[in-house]
Amino acid sequence: MPLVWYGGAVNGTPIVSPGAPERRSFYGIPNSAPQSYVGGTIYQIGGINYNTYLTQYNQVMNSNTSSPIQMEVNLGMNSQGGLSVFTNVTITDNLTTTNNRIYFIIIHDGPGRSRFQVMRAAFDTFTQSEVGSSELYVHDFLLDPNWNIEYLKAVSIVQSNQGTNRAVIQAGISSGMEAVVPNFTSDVVSGPPILEVNFRNNSFSTFDIISRQWDFNDDGTIDSTEDNPTWLFEEPGTYTVSLTIETENGFETMRKVDYITVLNSDDVSGKVQGRWTAEFSPYIITDDIEIPVSGTLHIEKGVTLSIGQGLNIVVNGILIAEGEKDHEIIFSSEETWRGLNFQFSQQTSYLKYVIVEKATNTAIRVNLANIEIENSIIRNNTSANSGAAIHLQSSPSSHILNTYIVNNHSTNNAGAINITGSTVNIENALIVNNTGRTSIISVLSSSNTNITNCTIYNNHTTTAPGGTIFNSNSIANLTNSIIDGTQAVFNLNATTNATYSRIIGVIGDGNITDEPLFRNVPDGRGHEFETSFSDWVLMTDSPCIDAGNPADMYFDIEDPNNLGFAKYPSRGTLRNDMGVYGGQGGNDFTVSENNKIEIPNPNNISINAFPNPFNPSVSLNVSIDNVDVPLNISIYNIRGQKVNELMNSIPDSNNFTIQWNGNDFSGLSASSGIYFIRAVSGQNINTSKVLLMK
């Protein structure tokens, strides 16, 4: 049967059939040579030299001359898991040629084939010449895991290499293998701890397999009997892995020495998966890392990723980063990095109690994948042409819950979130002090976005017309939210529905336009001004308290110590409060820049103002339980800006009166309007409203 050279490559080097150009020239057939079916039926006729070839062929086939060599060829496995060609040669008559060679060839057969494909070939010098002598020739080949061992055979050829004489003296072919060939591969062979490795059993056996026995640390103990097991390697070091196959003929073992390497966590790069724990934290990322399509990386609470300058974290599989309150997972850099990139995954990744900061190409970019972000902080990130904090592209179903998005900046896109061709729910998110070009949130290209109980405030856009939310060819539904801006929403061939929200320019059931009255609004807008999520708790006189959708499903969490009233930081009764601290998620907003919550609880400070309204001064009667800590009493205008400070010291008594003469810090008379008297003592806070009328 003819041998046809495999047209592939080994380690990037193309496999070339020896002497192919000369043979093609001889046969006169471009890019081919005569081939025949079993039985000798010629199906491709050669060119001008075909008659010469046919004459020589017939002479050989009709000759009564026998070969001076007898040959037996067998194919087997060696101890390293490779293939061995065993050729037993016996000299039966004198050889008439010198400078001979013996060729060893691995061929791949198949059902119904009339020719073999040469997969590997090699030769050795053949010096055996004594009549009656027998010698065993052995040559080893690496086993390609993509080969089907059932169809492998071996061919050996003894051929003259003398001058122009290339006569084949003898050739033989094996009958295939009756063997047990243990073999295995894995999806990764190295990575930081804890390294998860998925093994694949590639063993071949012509006998029925009774059992598979895996030893993952070379200690002689069977660790798994599964066909394709998964194993976690917990400590840095190298691991020798063995697979033993049991059949009716006994046991055969494949042992791969130092097959798995668990690296230290201070030099992480390449493909990663498994479980990262606080024990090995911080994980120092020194080059781009990738979670492969079939891989999952679990990051546990308290882990810090220190990411090198300009590096990417690419998620083609699944990332599950689950921190806890006071034990957040931190993605950061001593300089800057290029963010988390989730792409082309059919499953959902999770970020819970994480902090993502200092990324320059969007903090979290999602393309053809889904993401769940919960109880997290996304801060101090930048981008040029995408949303600075989050960019969703063709995401079928993503969710952002109880997340603080602050101090992010995009020069040509949304300052916080870009949503393109995606469906996303945003609930109880605090999106403040971000800077974008024309928007803070962009909803584009047939997206469907639901925004519920969010506070989107004090952001800045650099280019007109601008809007806090830019909605183009999409649907945006806003409920129970506080959104600032004289143009809160800019619609372009889009639908924006807003109900029970503090918003200007959008008409809807329950909407209001009053100032929301936060505790402490920063003096400036945009990413350059620092703030804290505790600044955005509603003051007791806020019109947003108990102003959200009255349906039970939107109720605030009930205070177990004051039934019928909301649990702080929600305010008032159980009816929904507009903004981030309202609804069922209002009490779950529990992360902070310092990795712990510091939203103070209400107290036993009381302030009574008289007269009220007043002009030009007002007396403030203050009552406080604890006089052992300093008391600060300050005046704020309706925009939350501090106008004056009346006291910042330890009070002399539990009850006293203090005056405000209606002046600001500079001593100038304040203008007519509503002002707020805020008293703060440790964790104790109270606010009263007064009206200056001139």
81-98: pLDDT as tens digits? 788 999 999 999 999 888
CA 449 to chain centre: 23
* pLDDT band with cut points at 50, 70 and 90 for residue 519: confident
* Span(s) in the chain for CATH 2.60.40.10: 3-173, 180-262
Residue type, 540: T
DSSP 601-667: PP-SEEEEEESSSBSS-EEEEEEES--SS-EEEEEE-TTS-EEEEEEEE--SSSEEEEEE-SB-TTS
Query: Does residue 405 have a pLDDT over 80?
Result: yes
**In the predicted model, what is the mean pLDDT of residues 663-677?**
90
Contact indicator for 185, 202 with CB cutoff of 8 Å: yes
pLDDT of residue 650: 87
- For the entire predicted model, the pTM comes to 0.68
pLDDT of residue 28: 58
pLDDT of residue 4: 55
Residue type, 507: I
- Residue among 419, 331, 326, 321 at smallest CA distance from 373: 321
CA 678 to chain centre: 46
* pLDDT band with cut points at 50, 70 and 90 for residue 22: low
Fold for the domain defined by 605-692: Immunoglobulin-like (2.60.40)
Distance, CA of 323 to CA of 348 (rounded, Å): 17
Is 2.60.40.10 the CATH classification of the domain at 180-262? yes
Homologous superfamily of the 3-173 domain (CATH) = Immunoglobulins (2.60.40.10)
* Span(s) in the chain for CATH 2.60.40.1930: 605-692
Contact indicator for 500, 479 with CB cutoff of 8 Å: yes
The partner residues of 351 in beta bridges, in order of sequence, read: 321, 373
Residue 46's contacts (CB-CB under 8 Å, 6 or more residues apart) are 27, 28, 29, 33, 34, 53
CA 195 to chain centre: 16
pLDDT digits (tens, 9 = 90+) for 584-608: 998 775 544 343 333 344 446 878 8
pLDDT of residue 5: 54
pLDDT of residue 680: 82
Of residues 654 and 23, more confidently modeled: 654
Phi, psi of 40 (to 5 degrees): 90, 10
pLDDT digits (tens, 9 = 90+) for 307-345: 999 999 999 999 999 999 889 999 999 999 999 999 998
522: preceding bond cis by omega (within 30 degrees): no
What does DSSP say about strands 13-14 and 9-10: parallel, antiparallel, or unpaired? antiparallel
